[in-house]
Chains A and B, each alone.
Chain A
Amino acid sequence: MTEIILTCEDVERDALVERSLAGRLTGADRDAFEAHYLTCERCQTELQLGTAVRMALRSSPAALRPRAWARWAGIGGLAAATLVATVLWRAQSGVPPELLSLGAVIQAPVYLGVPLRSTSAADGGRAFDEAMRDYQAERFDDAARRLQQVVRDDANHAPAGFFLGASLLMIGDDDEAAAAFARVIALGDTPYQPEAHFYRAKALLRLGQADAALTELGAVNPRSEVIATQARALADSTSRRRAR
């Protein structure tokens, strides 16, 4: 097997540090980048710088992230109110790094492409399918744009709402992710409700709202065994780090 040996110029040209941190580096590119940075001090440092930049951007007032809310400004009254409240809060307070790390998501919620979690609106149609193709290919920005349209057309489409929240979470648009998950929760008893609580808690942690995150985690239905276990673990970690 031929190993791809990268240089720092390759890493810079192909934005491998940025793509890696954004969770968009897969397959041979990821293998080659990891093999490179294992022996490259400069790229190791760039990974840490990139992490600091992501943390700083997340904890910055939304005014410093122009597209993050300009892009989704048309969402509607409830979301806009949530957004404004969050922006005001964040303008006054930085987010502790330990909460940001608890809000990190290693892998986007899995979409299997089969109606395992079907609801009455789950068939969604072509727009939803196209959005989910983007989602599965980790083109979360494109997926979010398409899912936004699906939700506009059908506000009760729980899968679209849930994966809209997930896509927004993956591109770091935490305010809007939290709002999207809140809309899924407001739909009531759907198969997506427990995970919507869990991932909304993740978004709230990134926003520095530990108390609200704990409330969401406490709302996960204990009958949803797997997600409830994860929720309890995250709640424990959140409580411990908040107490420090």
Chain B
Amino acid sequence: MKDTSPLGPELDRLRQGVRLLALRELGDIDAADEVAQETITRVFDAIREDRLENRHALGAFARGIARHVIIDLIRARRWEAPLDNTAQDREDTQTTNDALSVLVKAEQVGRVQDALAMLAPGEREIIHLSYFEGITCQELATRLHQPAARVRKRKERALDRLRRAFFGSTGHSSSPRPTELPKASDDIPAAVRHLSR
């Protein structure tokens, strides 16, 4: 039976997050799953043994563990893999920025592409500069000689359309919501006892 305690959904999110992190580092979905599994196990043990002092820092705590697991995996592969595979691994690790593309379906890309075509040229430019040059709304405003509030609004509007296209007909809430961390007063050991592994 699926766990309904406060920690269950949190560990599910964490598992997915670690998987994304590992996929971006390793470029390999199987290895990412392996890292996620190992990291969650170690986090679970740490919580059970009361080694996580501040539950609000779960992300940072898990990130530290995940980084170690990733490094261990890379080391192990370099040591164990045959020479011809090592070259392949080296190449596969060079796929970071868009390594998540394996999680994105072709039809999602197609829908986003259609939505991009429907945007005003100025909105497309904002999206392009944001995602390829990684610049903030403030920097965009300077670059485009427009007020920052206007740029922010245009970007939000464009992103909203792209989100709707990405999620298809099911829709998706575009309004930002704060990260849903559990309250610090939650009883972690009690929650862990109810967590099914």
Contact = CB atoms under 8 A, between A and B. Distances in A.
A186 interface: no
Contacts of A100: 98, 101
B166 A49 contact: yes
Interface residues of B, number: 65
B16 interface: yes
Interface in A5-60: 5-9, 12-15, 18-25, 31-32, 34-45, 47-57, 59-60
B95 A44 contact: no
A87 to B, nearest CB: 15
A104 B13 contact: no
B88 to A, nearest CB: 5
22 contacts: A14-B136, A19-B136, A25-B134, A35-B59, A35-B60, A35-B63, A39-B14, A49-B163, A51-B101, A52-B104, A52-B112, A55-B112, A56-B112, A60-B113, A60-B116, A67-B125, A67-B129, A101-B27, A105-B97, A106-B93, A171-B132, A232-B87
Interface string B98-128: 1111111010111011001100010011011
A60 B134 contact: no
A94 to B, nearest CB: 7
Contacts of B124: 64-66
Contacts of A50: 131
A41 B97 contact: no
Which of A20, A24, A52, A96: most chain B CB closer than 10 A?
A: A52
Interface string A107-143: 1000000000000000000000000000000001100
Contacts of B117: 60, 64
Interface of B: 10, 13-14, 16-18, 20-21, 27, 56-60, 62-63, 66, 87-88, 90-104, 106, 108-110, 112-113, 116-117, 121, 124-125, 127-137, 162-163, 166, 172, 176-179, 181
A171 B133 CA distance: 6
Contacts of B57: 3, 5, 35
Nearest to B137: A15
A218 to B, nearest CB: 16
B95 A39 contact: no
A67 B14 contact: no
Contacts of A37: 17, 20-21, 59
A6 B20 CA distance: 18
Contacts of A68: 128
Contact of B95 (A3, A38, A106): A106
A208 interface: no
Nearest to A19: B134
Contacts of A140: 133
